Amino acid sequence: MMIGRVIGNVWATRKKDSLSGSKLMIVQRLDAVSGESLENFVAVDCVGSGIGEKVLVTVGSSARKALENTEAPVDAAIVGIIDEAKD
Amino acid sequence: MMIGRVIGNVWATRKKDSLSGSKLMIVQRLDAVSGESLENFVAVDCVGSGIGEKVLVTVGSSARKALENTEAPVDAAIVGIIDEAKD
Amino acid sequence: MMIGRVIGNVWATRKKDSLSGSKLMIVQRLDAVSGESLENFVAVDCVGSGIGEKVLVTVGSSARKALENTEAPVDAAIVGIIDEAKD
Amino acid sequence: MMIGRVIGNVWATRKKDSLSGSKLMIVQRLDAVSGESLENFVAVDCVGSGIGEKVLVTVGSSARKALENTEAPVDAAIVGIIDEAKD
Amino acid sequence: MMIGRVIGNVWATRKKDSLSGSKLMIVQRLDAVSGESLENFVAVDCVGSGIGEKVLVTVGSSARKALENTEAPVDAAIVGIIDEAKD
């Protein structure tokens, strides 16, 4: 999994029906040690996260395990809100 | 998922039968914040997108969940047309 | 999926039985816009491609959907021969 | 799989129920030859590893095979503690 | 798949039971054209390969298809020993 910060939303009126109701968030990956910003991507929120929060993201087919509809075409999901990452 | 722009088509007369009828699009990945062009790749259109449109793309095995034939050998699918990505 | 050029063959006498009869090709990935050579890898040919041809390659678990034996340990498959990629 | 060092913990009070009880560790990937630090990420501990230990990590859908709950949304798991990596 | 050279072994006394008996090898990925060394990683040997040999490696969920126990948490497998890679 990776650590990231929610930095925005994506709106898509025309989309696969199986994505209806999904909250699509833009996530900026962070280096867990330095906090440096890495690449960004879009993930489906599964835990009620908001913009500015630090989150845990799962990618690949495992992301679908976090969804209500596990048959949706989703490859990244926000699965936790981070209290603290301590090294 | 990632954000990209549809920039072209790919034509392949000889292909796996399970790809027949698939619209193969060239997508240029975009950085969601800066809008900078990143790598490009080929994705199957699942939402009626056209050249020039900004789209949401799912990759990996999850891409197959967007297809009519979920047994086709496809690892990237256009699953939405983006109205707005706001950070 | 990605666009590449078939640039060679790989021969392996000792291999998993489930790979017997597979045509193992070296593919050089190409940037779809600039045509620049990117990384190379090995893919199983599923469409009768030959050296020098421009091909469409599927990677990951989806590659197995192109094989006769979908239980073979294969993570990249040539699924089409490209006539034209137009941007 | 990759070799890494456990360098910290991640705490997330709000998370998917299926992650409850999972020990979330920050792992710094290491080059197996030079020992150089590469990227870091979060993995679920499945072998009782502690901070400072050198571990073996599996990523992708295969990571779920190491979990008690194979339906949890996890894409990286610590599957062994390394005694020695000898080249 | 990718081409690599077996450059070492990994020993892990404490590991998931499902990995018992697996031969864990360090593999250095090679560029198929230039022969240049790329990243390294750990793979389970499935063909009796030894240190110094040039091998074919499958990654991701497809790697599990090469194992006796397809439920083991493995994301990379050595599936062939290369006689010749000719471009």
**Which residues of chain B carry a pLDDT beneath 70?**
85-87
Residues A10, A12, A18, CA angle at the centre, nearest 5°? 110
Q: Domain spans of chain A?
A: 2-81
Closest CA to B60 of A61, D72, C39, C78: A61
Q: How many residues does chain D have?
A: 87
What mean pLDDT is predicted for residues E79-83? Answer: 96
How far away is chain B from the Cα of A69, in angstroms, using its nearest Cα? 11
Q: Which CATH superfamily hosts domain B2-12+21-68?
A: EutN/Ccml (2.40.50.220)
Interface contact flag, C3 B16, Cβ < 8 Å? no
Tokens of E26: 């360090």
- Closest-CA residue of chain D to A31: D40
Cβ–Cβ gap B16/C59 under 8 Å: no
CATH number of C2-12+21-81, picked from 3.30.70.60, 2.40.50.220, 3.30.70.360, 3.30.365.10:
2.40.50.220
Identify the pLDDT of residue A46.
98
Q: Chain B neighbours among C 48-77 (CB < 8 Å)?
A: 48, 56, 58-66, 77
Q: What is the pLDDT of residue C84?
A: 74
Round to whole Å and give the CA distance between A34 and E47: 41
Average pLDDT score, chain D: 95
Whether A9 and B85 lie within 8 Å, measured CB to CB? yes
Classify domain A2-81 at the CATH class level: mainly beta
Identify the three-state secondary structure at position C35: coil
What is the Cα Rg of chain D in Å? 13
Cβ atoms < 10 Å from Cβ of E86: 12
pLDDT digits (tens, 9 = 90+) for A43-84: 999 999 999 999 999 999 999 999 999 999 999 999 999 997
Q: Which of E19, E75, E78 to mutate to test the interface with D (most CBs of D within 10 A)?
A: E75
The length of chain C is: 87
CA terminus-to-terminus distance, chain D: 16
Contacts of residue B40 in chain C, CB cutoff 8 Å? 31-33
For residue C11, pLDDT over 90 is answered with: yes
Helices vs strands, H then E, count in chain A: 0, 7
The model's confidence at residue E87, banded by pLDDT at 50, 70 and 90, is low
Q: What is the per-residue pLDDT across D8-34, written as a single tens digit (0 to 9) for each?
A: 999 999 999 999 999 999 999 999 999
User: Residue E85 has what pLDDT?
Assistant: 67
pLDDT of the residue at E84: 75
Task: Give the span between the Cα atoms of B42 and C40, in whole angstroms.
Answer: 17
Considering only CB atoms, which chain A residues are within 8 Å of B48?
14
CB neighbourhood size of E29 (10 A): 18
pLDDT at D85 over 70: no
Residue whose token pair is 């699009």: B25
Tell me: the pLDDT tens digits for B14-34? Answer: 999 999 999 999 999 999 999
Is there a contact between A33 and D7 (Cβ–Cβ < 8 Å)?
Answer: yes
Classify strands D84-86 and A54-59 as parallel, antiparallel or unpaired: unpaired
Mean pLDDT value of segment C45-61: 97
Could you tell me the pTM of the whole model? 0.96
ipTM field: 0.96
**Residues 14 through 43 of chain C touching chain E, CB cutoff 8 Å:** 14-16, 18-19, 24, 26, 28, 39-43
Q: What is the reported pLDDT for A84?
A: 75
pLDDT 10s digits, C19-39 = 999 999 999 999 999 999 999
What is the average pLDDT across C74-80? Answer: 98
Query: How confident is the model at residue B49, as a pLDDT?
Result: 97
Q: Which amino acid type is present at position C87?
A: D
- Taking the domain E2-73, which CATH number applies? 2.40.50.220
Distance CA E54, CA C31 (A): 28
